[in-house]
Amino acid sequence: MATSSPVTSLSLLEQLREPGDEGWDRVVTLYTSLLHAWFHSAGLQAADCDDLTQRVLEVLVRRMPEFEHNGRPGAFRTWLRNITYNLLREFWRRSPTSESASVLKDLIDPHSGLSQFWDRQHDRHVLHRLLESVQPEFAEITWLAFRRLALDGASAREVAAELDTSVNAVLIAKSRVLARLRQEARELVR
């Protein structure tokens, strides 16, 4: 499935400006495991990953009203990475490691392998969560047809033969799931 780079939607970001909004539950659910993975990939131990993940979420809550989206894809992701960078820098000032300077240098450079890896991790994570959120709405055969055709790259003819259905049914399944993903994406990613 060809996708553009998922980024947090402007509508969700606007909802987050409201204190106590349910949008925060979505952000916490969406980003907690990603932040933990980012910190783990930077070489932190599990307890430190947990602590820093909570600190990032605290900063998001506190600073969200001042965040201005510039309309470019990835603006929120970049802002989130910068918050993460600053908290990592602060953490390593207190407990430096042999790799900390190198990791920080790579994170601040948007063209470095680590920054690009974090961006890809973000995009995969958001896409996975998006797929996970809509899958229960579809019959198993519809989801299998979509998955084989759109995600695995099988031909419609192959999928139809595997599922003992028509090519048209496979194409309709793909279309239905994509339509629902687009609808969900308007609220979650863009």
- The range of the structural domain enclosing residue 151 comes to 138-190
Same domain, 92 and 164: no
Same domain, 109 and 53: yes
Sequence-separated (6 or more) residues with CB below 8 Å from residue 72 = none
Same domain, 120 and 188: no
Same domain, 91 and 161: no
For residue 167, what pLDDT is reported? 97
What pTM did the predictor assign? Answer: 0.67
For residue 48, what pLDDT is reported? 94
pLDDT in tens, 65-97: 788 777 777 788 888 888 999 999 999 998 888
Same domain, 110 and 142: no
Same domain, 113 and 145: no
Same domain, 105 and 126: yes
The CB-based long-range contact list for 174-183 (8 Å cut-off, 24+ gap) reads 174/145, 174/146, 174/149, 174/150, 176/138, 176/142, 176/146, 177/134, 177/138, 177/142, 177/143, 177/146, 177/150, 178/146, 178/150, 180/134, 180/137, 180/138, 181/130, 181/131, 181/134
Same domain, 100 and 174: no
Q: How many domains does the chain contain in total? A: 2
